Amino acid sequence: MLELSDSSRTIAGIVLLAIVTVEFGGTFLLRIVGGKVPMTDFQQSFARAGHAHAGVLVTLGLICLVLADASGLSGFAGWIARAGVPFAAVFMSAGFFLSSAGRDRTEPNGLIALLWIGAAFLAAGALTLGVGLLTA
Protein backbone atom coordinates (compact mmCIF):
# COMPACT_ATOMS: atom_id res chain seq x y z
CA MET A 1 0.00 0.00 0.00
CA LEU A 2 1.29 3.45 -0.95
CA GLU A 3 1.40 5.97 1.86
CA LEU A 4 1.11 9.65 1.06
CA SER A 5 3.97 11.93 1.99
CA ASP A 6 3.26 14.66 4.51
CA SER A 7 3.32 17.24 1.71
CA SER A 8 0.83 15.32 -0.41
CA ARG A 9 -1.43 14.63 2.55
CA THR A 10 -1.53 18.35 3.44
CA ILE A 11 -2.21 19.44 -0.13
CA ALA A 12 -4.89 16.74 -0.52
CA GLY A 13 -6.63 17.94 2.63
CA ILE A 14 -6.64 21.53 1.41
CA VAL A 15 -7.89 20.50 -2.05
CA LEU A 16 -10.68 18.38 -0.58
CA LEU A 17 -11.80 21.27 1.63
CA ALA A 18 -11.68 23.58 -1.40
CA ILE A 19 -14.13 21.32 -3.25
CA VAL A 20 -16.85 23.05 -1.23
CA THR A 21 -16.09 26.23 -3.19
CA VAL A 22 -16.50 24.29 -6.45
CA GLU A 23 -19.81 23.00 -5.14
CA PHE A 24 -20.91 26.56 -4.31
CA GLY A 25 -19.91 27.56 -7.84
CA GLY A 26 -22.17 24.84 -9.17
CA THR A 27 -25.17 26.21 -7.28
CA PHE A 28 -24.35 29.69 -8.59
CA LEU A 29 -24.11 28.29 -12.12
CA LEU A 30 -27.57 26.75 -11.71
CA ARG A 31 -28.91 30.18 -10.74
CA ILE A 32 -27.30 31.69 -13.85
CA VAL A 33 -28.75 29.02 -16.15
CA GLY A 34 -32.12 29.42 -14.45
CA GLY A 35 -32.16 33.12 -15.36
CA LYS A 36 -31.95 34.30 -11.75
CA VAL A 37 -28.63 36.08 -12.30
CA PRO A 38 -28.53 38.41 -15.30
CA MET A 39 -25.41 37.84 -17.41
CA THR A 40 -24.28 38.30 -20.96
CA ASP A 41 -23.62 35.24 -23.12
CA PHE A 42 -19.89 35.93 -22.69
CA GLN A 43 -20.23 35.93 -18.89
CA GLN A 44 -22.27 32.74 -18.92
CA SER A 45 -19.69 30.95 -21.05
CA PHE A 46 -16.85 32.10 -18.79
CA ALA A 47 -18.80 31.01 -15.69
CA ARG A 48 -19.25 27.54 -17.20
CA ALA A 49 -15.58 27.37 -18.21
CA GLY A 50 -14.41 28.51 -14.77
CA HIS A 51 -16.55 25.94 -13.00
CA ALA A 52 -15.54 23.12 -15.36
CA HIS A 53 -11.84 23.90 -15.04
CA ALA A 54 -12.10 23.98 -11.26
CA GLY A 55 -13.79 20.59 -11.09
CA VAL A 56 -11.50 18.83 -13.53
CA LEU A 57 -8.28 20.32 -12.19
CA VAL A 58 -8.96 19.60 -8.51
CA THR A 59 -9.60 15.98 -9.47
CA LEU A 60 -6.44 15.82 -11.56
CA GLY A 61 -4.56 17.56 -8.74
CA LEU A 62 -5.48 14.79 -6.30
CA ILE A 63 -4.29 12.15 -8.76
CA CYS A 64 -1.01 14.03 -9.26
CA LEU A 65 -0.29 13.85 -5.52
CA VAL A 66 -0.27 10.06 -5.58
CA LEU A 67 1.80 10.01 -8.76
CA ALA A 68 4.30 12.51 -7.36
CA ASP A 69 4.82 10.33 -4.31
CA ALA A 70 5.23 7.26 -6.55
CA SER A 71 7.85 9.08 -8.64
CA GLY A 72 9.99 9.91 -5.62
CA LEU A 73 10.31 13.56 -6.66
CA SER A 74 11.56 15.83 -3.89
CA GLY A 75 12.70 19.40 -3.42
CA PHE A 76 11.50 22.07 -5.83
CA ALA A 77 10.58 19.50 -8.51
CA GLY A 78 8.48 17.61 -5.97
CA TRP A 79 6.76 20.81 -4.92
CA ILE A 80 5.91 21.74 -8.53
CA ALA A 81 4.72 18.19 -9.29
CA ARG A 82 2.41 18.25 -6.25
CA ALA A 83 1.19 21.86 -6.24
CA GLY A 84 1.23 22.84 -9.93
CA VAL A 85 -2.14 21.39 -10.89
CA PRO A 86 -3.99 22.50 -7.70
CA PHE A 87 -2.58 26.02 -8.21
CA ALA A 88 -3.75 25.85 -11.83
CA ALA A 89 -7.26 25.05 -10.60
CA VAL A 90 -7.28 28.21 -8.48
CA PHE A 91 -5.68 30.58 -10.96
CA MET A 92 -7.47 29.38 -14.09
CA SER A 93 -10.90 29.43 -12.45
CA ALA A 94 -10.20 32.85 -10.93
CA GLY A 95 -9.14 34.07 -14.37
CA PHE A 96 -12.43 33.01 -15.92
CA PHE A 97 -14.60 34.36 -13.10
CA LEU A 98 -12.82 37.61 -12.31
CA SER A 99 -12.09 38.63 -15.89
CA SER A 100 -15.78 38.43 -16.72
CA ALA A 101 -17.07 40.21 -13.60
CA GLY A 102 -19.03 43.43 -14.03
CA ARG A 103 -22.30 44.59 -15.45
CA ASP A 104 -22.96 43.77 -19.11
CA ARG A 105 -19.36 42.69 -19.79
CA THR A 106 -18.82 41.23 -23.26
CA GLU A 107 -15.05 40.71 -23.18
CA PRO A 108 -12.48 39.87 -20.51
CA ASN A 109 -10.77 42.52 -18.41
CA GLY A 110 -7.10 42.52 -17.39
CA LEU A 111 -7.61 39.76 -14.84
CA ILE A 112 -7.58 37.32 -17.74
CA ALA A 113 -3.84 37.22 -16.96
CA LEU A 114 -4.73 34.90 -14.05
CA LEU A 115 -5.85 32.33 -16.60
CA TRP A 116 -2.40 32.38 -18.22
CA ILE A 117 -0.67 32.13 -14.84
CA GLY A 118 -2.81 29.07 -14.14
CA ALA A 119 -1.92 27.60 -17.52
CA ALA A 120 1.76 28.04 -16.66
CA PHE A 121 1.26 26.21 -13.33
CA LEU A 122 -0.60 23.42 -15.14
CA ALA A 123 2.17 23.02 -17.71
CA ALA A 124 4.92 23.16 -15.09
CA GLY A 125 3.20 20.62 -12.84
CA ALA A 126 2.33 18.21 -15.64
CA LEU A 127 5.75 18.40 -17.31
CA THR A 128 7.64 18.02 -14.06
CA LEU A 129 5.52 15.08 -12.95
CA GLY A 130 5.62 13.43 -16.36
CA VAL A 131 9.42 13.65 -16.58
CA GLY A 132 9.71 12.54 -12.94
CA LEU A 133 7.64 9.45 -13.62
CA LEU A 134 9.55 8.59 -16.79
CA THR A 135 12.92 8.88 -15.04
CA ALA A 136 11.97 7.24 -11.74
pLDDT digits 0-9 by tens, 49-102 = 999 999 999 999 999 999 999 999 999 999 999 999 999 999 999 999 999 999
**How far is residue 131's CA from residue 116's CA, in Å, rounded to a whole number?**
22
What's the pTM? 0.91
DSSP 30-95: HHHHTTSS---HHHHHHHHHHHHHHHHHHHHHHHHHHHHHHHT--HHHHHHHHHHHHHHHHHHHHH
**How far is residue 13's CA from residue 55's CA, in Å, rounded to a whole number?**
16
Confidence of residue 33 (pLDDT cuts 50, 70, 90): confident
Residue 34 has what DSSP assignment?
Answer: T
The domain segmentation of the chain, as residue ranges, is 6-135
Confidence of residue 10 (pLDDT cuts 50, 70, 90): very high
The reported pLDDT for the residue numbered 1 is 64
Confidence of residue 124 (pLDDT cuts 50, 70, 90): very high
